[in-house]
Amino acid sequence: MSNEKKLEELALNLFKIDAVKFGDFMTKSGIKTPVYFDLRVIVSYPDIMELISVLLYDFFIKDKKCEQLCGVPYTALPIATLLSVKAKTSMLMRRKEAKSYGTKKVIEGHYKQGDSCLIIEDVVTSGSSVLETVNDLRKEGLKAEEAIVILDREQGGKQNLATNNVQMQSLFTMTELINILVKNKKISEQIGKDVINYLSNVQAPKSAPELERVLLPYEKRAKLATNAVAKQLFDIMAIKKTNLCLSVDLTSSTKILDLLEKVGEHVCLVKTHIDIIEDYTSEFILQLKQLAQRLNFLILEDRKYADIGNTVLLQYSKGLYKVEQWADSVTCHSLPGEGILKALNSSTNVISRGVFLLAEMSSEGNLITPDYTEATVKMAAKYPELITGFVCQKKDTFKDPGLIQLTPGVQLESSKDELGQVYNTPEKVILENGADVIVVGRGIVAAKNPESQAIIYKDTLWRCYMKRVSGKME
Ligand SMILES: O=c1ccn([C@@H]2O[C@H](COP(=O)(O)O)[C@@H](O)[C@H]2O)c(=O)[nH]1
């Protein structure tokens, strides 16, 4: 039997065992859908399991070189097992939760750093479940750049995965499956049309991944982050209910520590300019780190590196400040080219690190052009494990929901300072311009009562974020 015939047979079998259902259903994200897939039932049908594994093997695995296979838990686990035996390729298992005892491993099985791992999944909608597995594998130093799936619901998953450097192939798209069922008179032409109509609605630009970034809550985005610092920052924001980054632009270390003692509980991130501190000592860093740990915030050194890779590596790791030893993330210009990212990536003394690339600036008359911004975003895509996000001003600057938009130039009223800084309001930067983490400096630091001002900023910024993700934007 030809592979085409086998695919048709599989589609008809999936319909027969109720793995594909038609009617009025609600998806996990609360959207109505006329078609529902539940491939969990296939484990009760060994013939169908075998047919699936034969097709996946013939189409995608036979001629592929990979060291490991890994199924996305849970439905794809038995399929991955069958494929592993058929292809005589080692398999890994990803735990959904790390064990709280013993090895605390998330990935079970034997592997080497750099092993390439092919991901196997049953159905892909947004691609987020595949990405969770990809992220855990990448954290272990495995290469996860390809995924094979039974069914692509054609709802942005393939594009979302490609953005995260994962190429996805499927046995069927939803349209192909529907066409087989209509052709074989399993469903009426009208039902087929309804499904295709539904698909074209959910595929319309408004649900494309670029808009999803700003609509997804931080806790969901944490799962899509490929940089460990971005993941931590999303988690902190969700737990502390604050997206406020305080820019502690003060020149006295005592004043900085006093201020953070009061406002640290209200912020997710503290941004420093370490070279403006007049009484810097390494004791200051110790105390800053203790505060960060006790009050649960991360530290961003806004160094804006902009030199050749070798110099940046020295600036990051040596000298008076030894930034790599204490900053969770640093800011960096893309102007000198990729060498700067290679340098920051190559530093070996850090447990986790992140970089915010400057894609746009808040200051009037800055020389950044749209082409420069686009090239910056492209450059970042090559370093998914290093990049925490972008310092930028616009919602459409990047799409990846696993990255963070850090936006400075924010005060409660729009205004300008006398040296070209432009301030927008919280409503504008969050609801219109897509900011995720909002940088406030003098709006708090120069206030009469910084503590009460920080609470006002925190509450206002969080209200805007909640409005954005609940979709109640006017
Ligand atoms: O485009 C940019 C990039 C960075 N910054 C920094 O943010 C703060 C803003 O302080 P305010 O007192 O709120 O103006 C400051 O440290 C800048 O260096 C920015 O403003 N714009």
Q: Is the pLDDT of residue 474 over 50?
A: no
Which residue's alpha carbon is at the smallest distance from atom 21 of ligand 1? Answer: 362
Q: Is the pLDDT of residue 15 over 50?
A: yes
Which residue's alpha carbon is at the smallest distance from atom 16 of ligand 1? Answer: 247
Nearest atom, ligand 1, residue 417 CA: 14
Of residues 156, 133, 269, 258, the one with CA closest to residue 202: 156
Mean pLDDT of the 28-45 span: 83
**Reported ipTM exceeds the 0.95 cut:** yes
Which residue's alpha carbon is at the smallest distance from atom 6 of ligand 1? Answer: 408
Asked whether the beta carbons of 148 and 120 are under 8 A apart, the reply is yes
Q: Identify the active-site residue in 307, 428, 459, 467.
A: 307
Residue 152 phi, psi dihedral angles, 5° rounding: -100, 115
Would you call 304 a catalytic residue per the annotation? yes
Report the C-alpha gap between 430 and 225 in whole angstroms.
20
In eight-state DSSP terms, residue 263 is H
Q: Which residues line ligand 1 (CB under 6 A)?
A: 247, 249, 273, 302, 361-363, 391, 408-409, 421, 439-443
Q: Of the given ranges (42-46, 342-346, 348-352, 424-428), which has the lowest mean pLDDT? A: 348-352
Q: What is the CATH number of domain 3-201?
A: 3.40.50.2020
Report the C-alpha gap between 455 and 410 in whole angstroms.
15
Q: Is the pLDDT of residue 203 over 80?
A: no
Q: How far is the CA of 438 from the centre of ligand 1 (A)?
A: 10
Token readout for 178 is 């529907």
Asked whether the beta carbons of 171 and 56 are under 8 A apart, the reply is yes
Q: Is the pLDDT of residue 212 over 80?
A: no
> 121-169: per-residue pLDDT in tens?
999 987 888 988 998 899 899 999 999 999 998 887 888 788 788 899 9
Burial of 459 from C-beta contacts in 10 A (0-12 / 13-18 / 19+): middle
Q: Please report the pLDDT score of residue 206 as a whole number.
A: 40
Nearest atom, ligand 1, residue 271 CA: 16
What residue ranges do the domains of the chain occupy? 3-201, 213-470
Q: How far is the CA of 287 from the centre of ligand 1 (A)?
A: 24
Q: Identify the active-site residue in 6, 186, 223, 304.
A: 304
188 is in an annotated binding site: no
Q: How far is the CA of 408 from the centre of ligand 1 (A)?
A: 5
Task: Kindly report the length of the chain.
Answer: 474
Q: Please report the pLDDT score of residue 103 as a whole number.
A: 66
Q: Please report the pLDDT score of residue 104 as a whole number.
A: 67
| Positions of E strands within 13-142 | 20-26, 32-37, 68-71, 90-94, 107-108, 116-124
Could you identify the residue written with the tokens 């910024």?
461
Q: How far is the CA of 423 from the centre of ligand 1 (A)?
A: 10
Token readout for 331 is 């800011």
> 265-288: per-residue pLDDT in tens?
999 999 999 999 999 999 999 999
Q: Identify the active-site residue in 122, 302, 328, 436.
A: 302
Which residue's alpha carbon is at the smallest distance from atom 11 of ligand 1? Answer: 441
Q: Is the peptide bond before 321 cis (omega within 30 degrees of 0)?
A: no
Strands 415-416 vs 422-423: parallel, antiparallel or unpaired? antiparallel
Q: Is the pLDDT of residue 207 over 50?
A: no
Which residue's alpha carbon is at the smallest distance from atom 1 of ligand 1? Answer: 361
Report the C-alpha gap between 124 and 402 in whole angstroms.
18
Report the C-alpha gap between 162 and 156 in whole angstroms.
10
- Tell me what percent of the residues of the chain surpass a pLDDT of 70: 94
Pocket test for ligand 1, best of 362, 410, 438 (most atoms within 8 A of CB): 362
Q: Of the given ranges (172-186, 205-219, 228-242, 457-471), which has the lowest mean pLDDT? A: 205-219
Provide the CA 225 distance to its chain's centre, in angstroms: 3
Q: How far is the CA of 439 from the centre of ligand 1 (A)?
A: 7
Q: Of the given ranges (61-70, 140-149, 168-177, 193-202), which has the lowest mean pLDDT? A: 193-202
Q: How far is the CA of 284 from the centre of ligand 1 (A)?
A: 22
Q: How far is the CA of 441 from the centre of ligand 1 (A)?
A: 7
194 is in an annotated binding site: no
Q: Please report the pLDDT score of residue 64 as a whole number.
A: 86
Pocket test for ligand 1, best of 361, 439, 457 (most atoms within 8 A of CB): 439
Report the C-alpha gap between 221 and 141 in whole angstroms.
21
> 343-381: per-residue pLDDT in tens?
999 876 666 789 999 999 999 999 999 999 999 999 999
Would you call 206 a catalytic residue per the annotation? no
- Report the mean per-residue pLDDT for the chain: 92
421 is in an annotated binding site: yes
Residue type, position 343, single letter: A
Q: What order do you get walking across the sheet with 143-152 strand by strand?
A: 107-108, 90-94, 68-71, 116-124, 143-152, 167-173
Query: Residue 1's pLDDT band (boundaries 50, 70, 90)?
Result: confident
Q: How far is the CA of 388 from the centre of ligand 1 (A)?
A: 18
Q: What is the CATH number of domain 213-470?
A: 3.20.20.70
Q: Is the pLDDT of residue 10 over 50?
A: yes
Token readout for 339 is 């060498």
Q: Please report the pLDDT score of residue 375 as a whole number.
A: 96
Which residue's alpha carbon is at the smallest distance from atom 18 of ligand 1? Answer: 302
